[in-house]
Each structure stands twice: as C-alpha cells, then as structure tokens.
C-alpha cells in the first residue's frame, strides 16, 4: 500500500503542474493598447530560493482584432528563451525545458516575461494573463502529460534500449559510427509498429530531456523513462521516474541491494532484473545478477528474454535465457512478471536480427497507454514475450473453478482435488502448439478443446503458465503464470 501511495505521489509530481489545475504562484495581468504596437513590454516577477521548475501558461484576448503577443523569458542574469507566438505554455527545469527555452538552475531574484507586440490596432484594447507555477521538488522532465491512448488493451513494446546517452551507436551519413541520437530509436520503434519503448541508458539521466522533447511529436509511441542501473553485481532497469537513482552499489550511499530497491521504490520506480544469467567476471563485468540479499518480494519483473543474449547464443533458448532463474523465484513463492527487452545498442540494426528494436517485444495488457498504465499492467502480470516481435501475435491464459476466475498474472483459490479449467488464447501463430508449465515442470494435460485443459488442485500453492512453440519446436512466446492457492 505504501508502495502504491509513493507511486501515485511521484507520478503526480511528474505531471506538469499546469495540467493538475493547481493554483498558480503568480497571476500577471495587464492590457495591450494601440500604443504598444511593435514594442516590447517587460513584465517582472520575483522568484524565491529553491525553485526547481518554472512553468508559464499564457493567454490573451484581441486575436479577432489581429492583436499578437510574442513571449520570451529572462532570469536575473541571462536570456532563457524566446518562443514568439508559437507556444502558450512552457516549462523550464534544472535538466529540461520546452523547446525554445534553456534548462538549468532557476536563480532567485527578479525574472522578466518579455512580451513582444508585432501587431495591435490603434483602437484595440487586449487583456493578457500569465499564470506562473513554481515547483520545488527534485525530479527530471515530464514526458507525456496525458495517456496516448485511452482504454484497456494489449500494448506492444520494447523495455530495454540504449542510445548515444550511453553506449548506443549508429551509422553516420558517411558510414562511420557516432553516438546514436534518441530520435533514431523512436523512429525505429515506430517503424516496428510498437506502442511503447523504454529508453534505459546506463545510470545516466541525460536522455530524459531529449525524450521530453520527442514525446509530443511521437503521439502514438509512448516513451517510458528508464535507466539501466548498472552495478558491479548486476543490472536492473528502473522504469518510471526521471529523477536520479544512485547506482553505486557497494558504496556508502548504496551499501546493499535492498537500499537500491528502496531508492527505486521511493522514486516511484518499477524494478526489473536484467539478463540475470548473463556471464560475469572478466567475460562480462557485472552482467549476471550476483547481488546478494536481493529481496525478491520487491522485484517487479525479471527480464527472462534479452535480445543481446539471444543473438549471442544463436536462438531464444540457451544458457542465457533467464527462465530457470525466474521460475526458481516463482517456486520460492514470489510473484514476479517475466518480461523481455531487446537491449538494443544500434537503432539501425536490421529488424530480422535479435536485439534490433522490438526483438523481443513485450506485450502488456494495460488499462491505458501511459507510463502509469504500462507499469500497472506490468505489475498485474497479464504479459507475454513475443520473440519475433510480430504485430499481431497473442498468448493469453485464463482459469476458472466453479466459483471464481483469473487471468494471466492473477491468482485463483481452489480446493484440494478440485478441477481448475484453463483456457489459452492464441492468435497470429498458425499451427503453433502450446506448452504447459506447472511449477517449473513441463506438463502434458489432456486438451478437451483446442486451448482448453484442466489441472487438479493439489494441497500446496502452485502456478501454471503456457509457452508457444512452432512446429519445429522453436520457442515463439513465453506467458506469465496464473497462481493457484489452496482454498480453506
């Protein structure tokens, strides 16, 4: 519950203040008259100490009479930007700003909103109102202020990608390599038909400003803020917040992994252990998950399928697939969502190669297409991994007893000896066959109809999930479990 409250609080803070209908700190009003034609009018206000974000929402009357008011901003020491007549709201933070404006510290003192008047008629009197909102909370940029798509449904995306803000590179015009700008990743995800992509550069927060600038132009592709917390004892993606999360595991500030987990939760983040069975030591420094004392009750997801690992081992299955690691945690009683991520480091990589953007794709049943909605969907666990990154493949599972039902990621109570009927729903995979896994073991139950099978409840908690394989046995998709518990 506390975790939920923290999540709501931080996501609330990440919403632009003017979109939350909070009272402004200043309301600056005035009039523009005929004599103001082709002049500049400074309007000043005093900013106190400790401000981390300043947002301006501006409006005026007289447009019907061809009055035009341009906007700019000066802080006590320097020019902070000019948007002319092209933006009615803008925000400046320490790390990001609306395009046209300069991010950076917001010094206390007298600030000036610059009004330029390219035109007003001699007889016109226009009124303007500037609402100024100040914030004092740490945190990075706000990305999408409202859902990109309303309504519950399956949303397809990639939860692990790097850009030039860490070690991602791509081809230059002349065929050389250069740090890859974030827009290339967004364009590749769009070409792939994805609904969302998390950009997870190593430890830094420097990609969030670029994402905040790109999001309005990519209004069908949700850009999820993430970072790959990269330690000497393993890597974990934290999705959601844009504030810095200290990654220095083993250092005084982050003495153990539970502190790291608390930092991620405190920031409203969702933590996923990446490529847990990757090599460690000098073969791949810090890549495998070896952090002792991990509190798996507080791990949101495990990246069981990593595109880079798939490419390295030449197929979905092999020693680098994280299914056995994940299932061991399920057998220990934890409910952790399995996800996939391309771990892309080159947005230009051909789409038929594992680790290109969207290979694998994680498909999430979410209440809406927003960061809040996607994280809620990941927590709920109605999620499957589509290795090929298709645009239409579906793998879902439901279960029922005489008294209750559950869907993938959910829980169902059943009496000892009671029959639980499962229904797997598959689309976009002709002639594929289902593989049933119970408590980590493959099962061969009798199908009463295509996709329908039953399991008799034992006297201990159990979990059941399905995979999808093609006629050659190649693994196409991994589904998440339904958790069974003995009813009293």
Binding site for Zn ion (CB under 5 A): 228, 235, 274, 343
Which residue, 10 or 249, is less far from Zn ion as judged by CB?
Answer: 249
Which residue, 142 or 274, is less far from Zn ion as judged by CB?
Answer: 274
In 3D space, the residue among 265, 289, 260, 263 whose CA is nearest the CA of residue 276 turns out to be: 289
Distance in angstroms (rounded) separating the CA atoms of residues 45 and 325: 58
Which residue, 75 or 346, is less far from Zn ion as judged by CB?
Answer: 346
State in angstroms the smallest separation of the CB of 117 from Zn ion: 51
Which residue, 95 or 228, is less far from Zn ion as judged by CB?
Answer: 228
Distance in angstroms (rounded) separating the CA atoms of residues 256 and 293: 8
State in angstroms the smallest separation of the CB of 235 from Zn ion: 4
State in angstroms the smallest separation of the CB of 287 from Zn ion: 6
State in angstroms the smallest separation of the CB of 165 from Zn ion: 12
Structure-token pair, residue 341: 């991520």
Residue 70 · residue 42 · CB < 8 Å: no
Distance in angstroms (rounded) separating the CA atoms of residues 161 and 306: 11
Structure-token pair, residue 59: 């409006």
Which residue, 98 or 274, is less far from Zn ion as judged by CB?
Answer: 274
Distance in angstroms (rounded) separating the CA atoms of residues 168 and 349: 11
User: 204: burial class by Cβ within 10 Å (0-12, 13-18, 19+)?
Assistant: middle
State in angstroms the smallest separation of the CB of 157 from Zn ion: 16
Which residue, 344 or 462, is less far from Zn ion as judged by CB?
Answer: 344
Distance in angstroms (rounded) separating the CA atoms of residues 17 and 52: 12
| Three-state SS at 46 | strand
State in angstroms the smallest separation of the CB of 355 from Zn ion: 10
State in angstroms the smallest separation of the CB of 239 from Zn ion: 13
State in angstroms the smallest separation of the CB of 160 from Zn ion: 6
In 3D space, the residue among 220, 185, 193, 149 whose CA is nearest the CA of residue 386 turns out to be: 193
User: 118: burial class by Cβ within 10 Å (0-12, 13-18, 19+)?
Assistant: middle
| Three-state SS at 271 | strand
Residue 365 · residue 397 · CB < 8 Å: no
Which residue, 236 or 420, is less far from Zn ion as judged by CB?
Answer: 236
CA distances from 265 to 13, 76, 209 (A): 15, 37, 22
Q: What is the DSSP string of 434-458?
A: EEEEETTEEE-PPEEETTEEEEE--
State in angstroms the smallest separation of the CB of 175 from Zn ion: 25
Which residue, 345 or 382, is less far from Zn ion as judged by CB?
Answer: 345
Cis check: omega of the bond before 360, within 30 degrees of 0? yes
Which residue, 277 or 401, is less far from Zn ion as judged by CB?
Answer: 277
Distance in angstroms (rounded) separating the CA atoms of residues 433 and 444: 12
């Amino acid at each position: 519950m506390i975790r939920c409250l923290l999540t709501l609080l931080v996501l609330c803070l990440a919403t632009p203040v003017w979109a939350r209908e909070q009272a402004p700190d200043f309301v600056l009003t005035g009039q523009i008259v005929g004599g103001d034609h082709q002049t500049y009018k400074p309007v000043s206000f005093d900013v106190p100490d400790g401000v981390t974000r300043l947002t301006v929402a501006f409006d005026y009357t007289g447009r019907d009479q061809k009055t035009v008011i341009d906007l700019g901003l000066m802080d006590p020491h320097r020019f902070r930007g000019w948007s002319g007549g092209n933006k009615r709201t803008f925000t400046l933070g320490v790390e990001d700003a609306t395009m046209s404006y300069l991010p950076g510290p917001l010094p206390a003192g007298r600030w000036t909103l610059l009004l330029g008047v390219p035109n007003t008629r001699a007889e016109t009197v226009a009124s303007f109102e500037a609402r100024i909102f100040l914030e004092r909370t740490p945190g990075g940029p706000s990305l999408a202020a409202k859902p990109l798509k309303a309504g519950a449904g399956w949303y397809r995306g990639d939860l692990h990608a790097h850009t030039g803000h860490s070690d991602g590179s791509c081809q230059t015009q002349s065929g050389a390599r250069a740090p890859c700008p974030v827009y290339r990743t967004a364009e590749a995800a769009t070409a792939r038909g994805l609904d969302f992509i998390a950009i997870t550069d190593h430890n830094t927060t420097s990609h969030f400003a670029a994402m905040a600038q790109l999001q309005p132009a990519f209004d069908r592709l949700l850009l999820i803020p993430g970072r790959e917390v990269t330690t000497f004892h393993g890597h974990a993606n934290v999705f959601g917040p844009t504030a810095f999360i200290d990654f220095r595991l083993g250092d005084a500030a982050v003495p153990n992994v539970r502190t790291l987990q608390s930092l991620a939760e405190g920031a409203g983040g969702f933590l996923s252990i990446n490529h847990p069975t990757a090599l460690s030591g000098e073969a791949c420094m810090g890549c495998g998950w070896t952090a002792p004392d991990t509190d798996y009750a507080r791990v949101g997801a495990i990246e069981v399928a990593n595109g880079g690992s798939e490419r390295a081992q030449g197929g979905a299955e092999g020693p680098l697939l994280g299914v056995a690691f994940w299932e061991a945690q399920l057998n220990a009683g934890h409910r952790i969502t399995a996800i996939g991520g391309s771990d892309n480091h080159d947005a230009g990589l051909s789409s038929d190669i594992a680790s290109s953007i969207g290979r694998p794709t994680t498909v999430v049943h979410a209440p809406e297409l927003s960061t809040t909605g996607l994280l809620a969907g990941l927590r709920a666990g109605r999620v499957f991994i589509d290795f090929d990154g298709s645009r239409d493949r579906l793998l879902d599972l439901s279960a029922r007893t005489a008294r209750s039902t559950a869907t993938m990621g959910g829980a169902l109570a059943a009496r000892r000896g009671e029959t639980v009927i499962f229904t797997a729903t598959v689309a976009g995979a002709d002639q594929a066959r289902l593989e049933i896994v119970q408590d980590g073991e493959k099962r061969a139950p009798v199908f009463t109809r295509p996709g329908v099978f039953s399991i008799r409840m034992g006297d201990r908690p159990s979990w059941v999930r399905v995979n999808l394989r093609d006629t050659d046995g190649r693994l196409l998709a991994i589904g998440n479990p339904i958790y069974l518990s003995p009813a009293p």
